[in-house]
Amino acid sequence: MKPTETKSVAVLPGDGIGPEVVSAALDVVDQLRLPLDFRFGEIGWECWRQEGDPVPQRTWKLLEETDTCLLGAITSKPLRETEAELTPSLRGTGLKYVSPVVQLRQRLGLYANIRPVTDLTEGRFDFTVIRENTEGLYAGIDVHGLDGALWDAVRHHPNAQASGPEATSVTLRLQTRFGIDRLLRFGFAYAEAHGHHRLTLVDKPMVLRHSSNHLRERLELIAREHPDIETEILNVDAVALWMVRRPERFGVLVAENMFGDILSDLGAGVMGGLGLAPSGNIGDRGSYFEPVHGSAPGMAGQDKANPMAMLLTIAQMLDHLGLAVPGEELRTAVRKVARARTTVTYDLGGTAGTREVARAVARAVARELPGGAAPQTAAPAAQATPDAADDASAVPMDVVDRLAGLDTASISDALDSLGITGVLTGITARVPGTRAAGRAYTVGYRPVDPGGEQRFRNAADYLDDVPAGSFVVIDNGGSTTCTNWGSLLTAVAQRRGIRGTALHGSARDIAEIRAAGYPLFSTGTTMVSGKNRVELASPGQEITIGDVTVRPGDVVVADDNGVLVVPAAHAAEVADRAERVERTEAAIAEAATGGMRLDEARRTYGYARPWEGPTPASGHA
């Protein structure tokens, strides 16, 4: 392909934090104005639960029609949960779960997993682990309960004799000349293309004597074709030690499947964590790129995930597509933000959210572009976000994140001080321990005439248009006669990076929603579907719940105490006042535990007007 051709990319956000990091990263990529056509599809755990196939046929069709694939994250679970979480109509039908990652690698012939390991802050090391994807101990030859040749192979082991064939398991390490040769040739070509002068073959030759000797023979043969590349064979445990102690000594590490898997995750740790680690999977019939981190379902919707791994993954994808210059611009921008340490996520010791880090990288990208300013291009509708960069009237995400870190009681005090009623009375937490904040996306329903036409009302189709980072607020009049939220909508919301839902009405599937860790707040619960009982009345319009008017773009903050609405026009002032409330209460608590009478501490530090902050004498101002 010529570099100027438009390249098509299948984007599969997947599970957990995948949709959030994909959305945030693509907002940055939009600024590069690249000849890319992003086409979105579905993959992952919710596809398995609802359809019995984590990679639906429509997704395979999409992959056939595109040049490469960008994958967010995938959730996989053990055997028992895999069957138990299927929709009831699919249980007991003999469906077998096969990891989407395994399916992609096998069906597309993706034999090389490429994981760069780079020191982003000081530049001390830059090497790559290339892991064989299709063979080794992960080839799928894993048997429990043995007979025939397998039992004959292990029956003389004393532990097998003590256990018997029915209580013995065997996993075979498959290594073929075909698989070894194509991996080694890929490794040498990669080393030459990236300026590395050493290729290290990683195995356990002193223990796995015959299969390791096979590797050695193939390496010695193929190395003759690459005289400028130094080669060595090292024990995997020694390599693990030297990756930590002297990572700069390595260039390209080539390893079988399991050893490569372990070393590449160690490489992520050497870099600074999984939040920085990219990867690509290359083969004869396709490719896909994904960050090394998992789906982290417990973190989904909280704007906490580090987007840098996804951004670096996209840079790696751009290299593969012949767009190396913008790939390096993106990589350089990530390095600058990582080195500055002023806007990084919790895993790197910071307090910034996913979107905030992405915006910092976008600003760094803008400075890299000719003229020093990024072109302003509209994101595709499915990826549009309610960002201050897109709408000057929107509440900045740093203000939303400040509110997210505050207790709702403190925010309530701040609202009271301004004479604003913000409590959505009667709406309570359905998933204890969750908290969230986001810009309001409002949805209103009206009942369907029971004597009218009975048909499916598409009452939840609005969810496809809700921007990532939003907090959905639904008004169904507080009804307890039908539901407006359940497990399917929860899964879609998490994939889209929606932060939470407040429902003036009823929800169902509470156990599944709790298992997903999604912040849901509602008036009630019931099992009766709303699909034929209500219809959309006013998505994206002003709604009134009790005494509170909720407008699109207002900030919704929710935790175990309940749900608050902060008017957009007052959001920054409310955040300031709520922070002063918390400082005042902290000063009072410190004084009281230090021996001061509680009433005296309250008078001293301004308990009557805590939003003004503790007095300077407290030392907390």
Average pLDDT over the chain, rounded to an integer = 86
Alpha helices in 376-431 (DSSP H): 397-404, 408-417
Amino acid 366: pLDDT = 83
Amino acid 453: pLDDT = 52
Which two structure tokens, joined as six digits, stand for 266? Answer: 């160690």
Cβ atoms 35, 6 nearer than 8 A: yes
Amino acid 405: pLDDT = 79
Number of helices and strands in the chain (H, E): 20, 23
Cβ atoms 100, 72 nearer than 8 A: no
Cβ atoms 429, 582 nearer than 8 A: no
Amino acid 383: pLDDT = 32
The DSSP bridge partners found for residue 563 are 558
Residue found under tokens 């796995």: 208
Which two structure tokens, joined as six digits, stand for 90? Answer: 């699919």
> Cα(312)–Cα(316) distance, rounded to whole angstroms?
6
Q: Which residues of the chain have pLDDT under 70?
A: 1-4, 368-393, 448-460, 527-533, 538, 615-621
Q: How far is CA 74 from CA 16, 45, 62, 87, 233, in A?
A: 8, 7, 18, 19, 33
54: which residues sit within 8 A by CB, 6+ positions away?
A: 43, 44, 45, 47, 48, 74, 97, 98, 99, 100, 103
Residue found under tokens 């933000």: 337
- pTM greater than 0.85 (yes/no): no
Amino acid 39: pLDDT = 94
Residue found under tokens 């004959």: 152
Angle at 356 between CA 399 and CA 471, to 5 degrees: 60
Phi, psi (rounded to 5 degrees) for 591: -65, -45
Which two structure tokens, joined as six digits, stand for 106? Answer: 């096998």
> Cα(463)–Cα(124) distance, rounded to whole angstroms?
46
Per residue in 202-237, is it b (16+ CB within 10 Å) or e — as a string?
Answer: bbbbeebeebbebbeebbeebbeebeebebeebbbe
Amino acid 541: pLDDT = 86
